[in-house]
Each structure stands twice: as structure tokens, then as C-alpha cells.
Copies of this chain bind each other. A is one copy, B any other.
Amino acid sequence: MSATNIVWHKASVTRMRREELNQHKSIILWFTGLSGAGKSTLAHAVEERLFQMGCRTFVLDGDNIRHGLCADLGFSEEARTENIRRVGQAAKLFLEAGIMVLTAFISPFRNDRQRVRSLVPHGEFIEIYCRCPLDVCETRDVKGLYKRARAGEIKEFTGISSPYEEPIAPELMVDTEQLTIEQSVDAVINLLFGRGIIKTAA
């Protein structure tokens, strides 16, 4: 640019200014749990509620990640780790952008989740464990994946042929076998309210 007397500050639009404009804080809501536990359903239901409150939100899930940012990755342990790494980095960008970002991935490995948590300041990564017994998830089998995994058509399927490492101290545990969607959403909203992320309770 031509010289001017203005000293230009790069990145003058800070996260703090964005949060002020949005009237809420940005946060990562990390939903984890078995396939069929209701992560994506709950994330979208929470998003709908937050949106109606005027919040800026976005959901990262298999639908918009696996066909895009991570279209080059398979499902080996190494690829899943890289998948979660990239999701974590994408979530961090949304956090910086002032958005409440909700991620819905099985994310079965404790270390992978811990690595994402460590990317952001304390308190800005909220781990929400969608807890549901394997047999219930398998009975639901919405996508027919468990059947295929049992038949050996899918290798390294979480809960069948690959481990799911339960969160030890998640910020929230939602029992999706027992609770309705509405009750589950309320639990998340009240957590956010309690932590000062949003200004209204459920």
C-alpha cells in the first residue's frame, strides 16, 4: 500500500469486540459419544435454541467435515486422530471468530479430545458426554452401521471393534437414553448460563 501516516494494526477486529457485538461469549461445545448416542441431534437442537436466543452458532459434524475438510482421510486410528485434530483447529477458528461452535464427532480417544482442549484457554472447551449404552445405540442403529460392523463390513468401528474411551471429567454428562431432547437441551443451556457464556437460562 502507499505510505500513509496511519499506523495500521493488523487483526484489529479482536475476539473481544466480536463477543461484544454478538452479546454472548464464544465457546467450543464438544459432544462426544458412541455412534447413535444422539450427539448430532442434540448439537443441532442446542443450536436451534441458541439461535432463537440470537446467538451466533455453528455445528461441525460428519456431514460438513467428512466430505470437505477431511475428505482425504479414512477411518484408521491415525486418520481419526488427524480428523479430530483438524476439527479442533477449525473449532478454534470459529471460537476466535466469536461463534459458539458445536462439534458432534464420536471422538473416541481421550488423548485426541485432550489435545483439542489444550488448544484453547481454560474454560472455553466444554466436553459434553452423550452417554448411552452400546446395546441401546445398537438397537437404534439409525444408519445401519452397527449391523454392518457386526458383519465385519466396517473395520475399527467404535464400540464393536475399536474402543470408546469415556470422558473422565466432562463438563456435562447427558444421559440420552433417559432424557428427552428438550431436557437435554435445557441441561446444556443452563450450563452455558451458569458459566456466563449466555445471558439467559433455559
Contact = CB atoms under 8 A, between A and B. Distances in A.
Interface of A: 1-2, 4, 6, 8, 10-13, 17-18, 21, 38, 40-42, 44-45, 47-48, 51, 54, 56-60, 63-64, 68-69, 71-72, 82, 86, 89-90, 92-94, 96-99, 176-182, 184
26 contacts: A1-B42, A1-B176, A2-B177, A2-B180, A4-B180, A8-B44, A8-B181, A10-B40, A12-B47, A12-B48, A13-B47, A13-B51, A17-B51, A21-B56, A56-B56, A56-B97, A56-B98, A58-B96, A68-B92, A69-B86, A69-B89, A72-B82, A90-B93, A94-B94, A97-B99, A99-B99
A88 to B, nearest CB: 9
Q: Which of A40, A44, A54, A97 has the most CB of B within 10 A?
A: A97
A41 B96 contact: no
Contact of A41 (B10, B178, B181, B184): B10
Nearest to A11: B44
Q: Could you say how many copies of this chain the assembly holds? A: 2
A187 to B, nearest CB: 12
A13 B89 CA distance: 23
Contacts of A68: 89, 92-93
A179 B13 contact: no
A10 B90 CA distance: 21
Given A1-B180, A21-B54, 16 more contacts: A2-B179, A4-B182, A8-B41, A8-B181, A10-B44, A11-B44, A12-B47, A13-B47, A21-B51, A56-B98, A64-B96, A68-B89, A69-B90, A72-B82, A86-B86, A90-B93
